[in-house]
Amino acid sequence: MESQTHRRLTVIVSSDVVGYSRLMGRDEAGTLAVLNDCRTGIIDPKLSRLGGHIVKTMGDGLLIEFASAVDALQWAVDVQREMAGLNAARDPDWPVQLRIGIHIGDIIAEEGDIFGDGVNIAARLQEIAEPGGVCISAAVHEQILGKTGQPFDDLGYKRLKNIDRPVHVLKARLAGVPSGGENVHAWPHVAGAPQAQKPLAAGGCLCGRVRYEVRDEAAAVGYCHCRMCQLALGAPLNAWAAFRKSDVRFSGDPPRLYRSSPIAVRAFCAECGTSLYTEIEGAGSSEYYSIRLATLDNPEAFPPACHFGVESQLPWLNIEDDLPRIRTEDDEILSSRWTAAGEPKGGPPRKTALERFRSGPGRKD
């Protein structure tokens, strides 16, 4: 008798128990009892309500299928929040936590099982998720945009084990769920390195009239895709390094300053026009210069560590790295500066060149 094999597009969820072997080694009967309670009290009822079904169990793991990406995400988020509540009432040194990965892909279905690249990617997403966390692919994120209020942190492109191509990964931000991850929404990240006695780096403009020296490590280094930087540099993005003002020494001609927005001043050379730095005004950010990486004499020594302002990233600029992706509205410092200036959290709406001219200094519509 021939087996029935066919393909279909589906949402795949992979889930497993963190430290299962350790838990079983400590208390086999107790661990099994807790996991059974989780299945009967949390996991299975929510699957029934949201239309998911278990394809198979794999020791401590589950392979689950949904017809809807929204329902799959809702199930994962609900389960993790209820599991966090369950752990809050248990021994804090012995939590029972899940990792969950979600992907949407074309799979092969055969004799009640599913196979294919989509299943493998879901499993790898589950492996890189934090304990108590949920990681999804960008393919899933595209399907849920505008349909759920769930916030995400963009982790960039990850090279997953045995997957040929890098996968764009996002992490669900789950309020109230303990996580081992860092908060990527604080700019800049102060390194706190000791004061250097000699310059660590130097740079300047194209014509050489403006020079500077830096006497301490960068507090943060990254890319900025925001529309303001695109316009100011006439380029797809801005690569920057944040240095404390007290650690930067300028020489030669003083930079010219241009107020580009209610919260920022941009410096440039009056002779050659080279953009040099941005100064963000307001508590928590005004003690730094965001210096253009390319103006450093050794920009290769300052690799970026994040992408900022990705809501304005140009669609044809595809940088497949695994750096965190941060939207302006999700950055605690910058979004607070914009709202204090009477603008939306993500900054001013995009304007045409004519609109910018009419609203410039000293001009009226």
For domain 5-172, the question of CATH label 3.30.70.1230 is answered with yes
**Minimum mean pLDDT range among 9-23, 114-128, 196-210, 286-300:** 196-210
Residue type for 125, please? L
Q: Give the separation between CA 96 and CA 34, rounded to whole angstroms.
A: 8
pLDDT tens, residue by residue, 275-323: 999 998 764 556 889 999 999 999 998 999 999 999 999 999 988 888 8
Task: At 225, list the tokens.
Answer: 């895709």
Beta strands in 25-145 (DSSP E): 53-58, 61-66, 98-110, 113-115, 134-137
Model confidence at 190: pLDDT above 70: no
- Give whole-number Cα distances, 291 to 15, 105, 279, in Å: 43, 42, 9
Which fold is adopted by the domain 201-358?
Answer: glutathione-dependent formaldehyde- activating enzyme (gfa) (3.90.1590)
Q: Which one is predicted more confidently, 108 or 59?
A: 108
Residue range 205-215: average pLDDT? 93
In percent, how much of the chain has pLDDT > 70?
Answer: 86
Strand partners, 100: 15, 134
Model confidence at 86: pLDDT above 60: yes
Model confidence at 88: pLDDT above 90: no
* Max avg pLDDT among 176-190, 241-255, 329-343: 241-255
pLDDT at 121: 93
Do 172 and 152 contact (CB within 8 A), yes or no?
yes
pLDDT at 191: 37
In percent, how much of the chain has pLDDT > 90?
Answer: 41
Task: At 271, list the tokens.
Answer: 């002779």
Give the residue from 164, 167, 120, 173 showing the smallest Cα distance to 139: 167
pLDDT at 181: 43
| Delimiting residues of CATH 3.90.1590.10 domain(s) in the chain | 201-358
pLDDT at 1: 44
Q: What is the DSSP string of 293-359?
A: GGGBS-GGG-----EE-GGG--TT--------EE-GGG-HHHHHHHHHTTS-TT-SPP--HHHHHHT
| Delimiting residues of CATH 3.30.70.1230 domain(s) in the chain | 5-172
Model confidence at 364: pLDDT above 60: no
Q: pTM (2 decimals)?
A: 0.62
pLDDT at 185: 41
pLDDT tens, residue by residue, 152-186: 888 888 888 888 888 889 999 887 565 544 444 44
